[in-house]
Amino acid sequence: MPQERFDAIVVGAGPAGNAAALTMAQGGLNVLQIERGEYSGSKNVQGAILYADALEKLIPDFSEDAPLERHVIEQRIWVMDDTSHTGMHYRSDDFNEQRPNRYTILRAQFDRWFSSKVREAGATLLCETTVTELVRDPKGRVIGVRTDREGEAILADVVVLAEGVNGLVGTRAGLRKELKPRTVALAVKEMHFLPQDALEARFNLSGDSGVVIEAMGTITKGMTGTGFLYTNRESISVGIGCIVADFARTGITPYALLDAFKRDPSIAPLLVGSQVKEYAAHLIPEGGYNAMPKIFGEGWVVAGDAAHLVNAVHREGSNLAMTSGRIAAETIIWLKRRGEECTARNLAKYRRRLKQSFVLKDMKKYRKIPDTLHNNPALLGLYPRLLSKAAQTWLRVDGKDKRAKESEIL
């Protein structure tokens, strides 16, 4: 194979990589995208919620043919103790709109579709190929990649690292520090299938509408983390995730934690009779703004989970991934059109633009959250129990007068 030089190489075909590759291909750049899975999506795991806004900026009419599960009309937030949940439910018919705000999706199917759009736009996709290292020139500037396929290095003017949370290429090249057990969560998830009509009856749904439940409390057994349950068309994604350092400290196995969550009296009735068809595990970067690495350098940028761009409080990640991938790509296109090189100095524009967007504004807003959660374990154990006890004391009619109940609660 003759040595072909690309304008850009994108490592990874998840939301960040696909957003970057699509944008650059549409901008007329000669793009090579490399994915280690059999197809885009085959290695990717998420809850998963798709936020329409970030994708509309890439593919305005995506809802016409994207594999979407349900548009979300109801969000439940449950604070749980061992026998109860105290819930905040928000359901609105306003979410039944022409262009719904968020959808549940299945990542293996969604990413594959997204990837087809990237190829239609003209990018070259090389699947089943693992990037093993970056190639640098004598001055240290990144000029390409090596893969586990036979052959020479593949060269490009810039490399976009969209290799995910557990991305080895950038880490091993020393572009960012190793993840710390305290800054990443391990989430495990199962796919539970149910007949569509049974699922809709169980969640009071019709048409393509859906419900998501985010849960916290004693379900994580003193560890920092959350559980979730999302309705898909004819399946339910149910999972739970906690900080890796907490799993290591407690010795609780992730699958036992998930099984206990599934057996919880608030969750179990929602899953009755379902058939499990997949079990998945994935890391989530939860260190927030303070755990973010440097996101650009000589001949490279990093986007998405690899850049630690997750808003853990709002359970947002794929939208930050798509937006960072797009903005990285727009920066590269802008430089190309001006005939400027992809030096660190020039690529700094990527970070400046990200700073003006919701991505870094939100990351910055919640920068203290990871430490707050770490330093206040009562938030996920004691407080949920107190809340439940208070609610139960108040609601149980047992001959005690209400003033006595008030003083018992307070």
What is the DSSP code (8-state) at residue 316?
A: B
The answer to whether the bond into 344 is cis (omega within 30° of 0) is no
201 is a contact residue toward another protein (CB under 8 A): no
**Could you give the C-alpha distances from 150 to 9, 131, 154, in angstroms and in order?**
18, 12, 11
48 is a contact residue toward another protein (CB under 8 A): yes
The stretch near another protein (CB under 8 A) out of 23-31, 58-66, 240-248, 336-344 is: 240-248
Among 85, 202, 282, 336, binds another protein (CB under 8 A): 282
Structure tokens at 157: 């003017």
Give the per-residue contact string, 332-361, with another protein (x = CB under 8 A; - = no).
Answer: ------------------------------
255 is a contact residue toward another protein (CB under 8 A): yes
279 is a contact residue toward another protein (CB under 8 A): yes
89 is a contact residue toward another protein (CB under 8 A): no
Among 98, 206, 275, 375, binds another protein (CB under 8 A): 275
The stretch near another protein (CB under 8 A) out of 37-45, 60-68, 135-143, 289-297 is: 37-45
Who contacts 366 (Cβ-Cβ below 8 Å, separation ≥6)?
A: 288, 289, 311, 312, 313
| Least Å from the CB of residue 244 to another protein | 6
190 is a contact residue toward another protein (CB under 8 A): yes
- Of 160 and 186, CB closest to another protein: 186
- Of 106 and 380, CB closest to another protein: 106
Who contacts 51 (Cβ-Cβ below 8 Å, separation ≥6)?
A: 101, 102, 316, 318, 319
| Least Å from the CB of residue 280 to another protein | 6
77 is a contact residue toward another protein (CB under 8 A): no
142 is a contact residue toward another protein (CB under 8 A): no
**Cα–Cα dist 228/78, whole Å:** 10
Helices 318-337 and 15-26 pack at an angle, to 10 degrees, of 30
36 is a contact residue toward another protein (CB under 8 A): yes
What is the DSSP code (8-state) at residue 59?
A: -
**Cα–Cα dist 361/366, whole Å:** 9
188 is a contact residue toward another protein (CB under 8 A): yes
| Least Å from the CB of residue 40 to another protein | 10
Residue 162's closest CA among 55, 355, 301? 301
Among 168, 348, 369, 391, binds another protein (CB under 8 A): 168
Which residue carries 């109940």 as its tokens? Answer: 405
Q: Which amino acid is at 185?
A: A
231 is a contact residue toward another protein (CB under 8 A): no
Ramachandran angles phi, psi of 285, nearest 5°: -70, 115
Residue 409's closest CA among 389, 384, 395, 382? 389
Cα angle for residues 385, 213, 83 (degrees, 5° grid) = 30
Structure tokens at 366: 């919640």
The stretch near another protein (CB under 8 A) out of 165-173, 296-304, 327-335, 373-381 is: 165-173
283 is a contact residue toward another protein (CB under 8 A): yes
Residues 99-138 that bind another protein (CB under 8 A): 106-109, 111, 127-130
Number of residues that bind another protein (CB under 8 A): 60
391 is a contact residue toward another protein (CB under 8 A): no
| Least Å from the CB of residue 43 to another protein | 7
**Cα–Cα dist 383/81, whole Å:** 9
| Least Å from the CB of residue 314 to another protein | 21
CA dihedral of 26, 130, 66, 190, whole degrees rounded to 10: -160
> Strand pairing partners for 11?
34, 161
**How many Cα atoms are found within 13 Å in the side-chain-facing hemisphere of 194?**
24
Q: Which residues bind another protein (CB under 8 A)?
A: 36-38, 41-46, 48, 106-109, 111, 127-130, 147-149, 165-166, 168, 178-181, 184, 186, 188, 190-191, 235, 244, 247-248, 251-256, 259, 262-263, 268, 271-273, 275-283
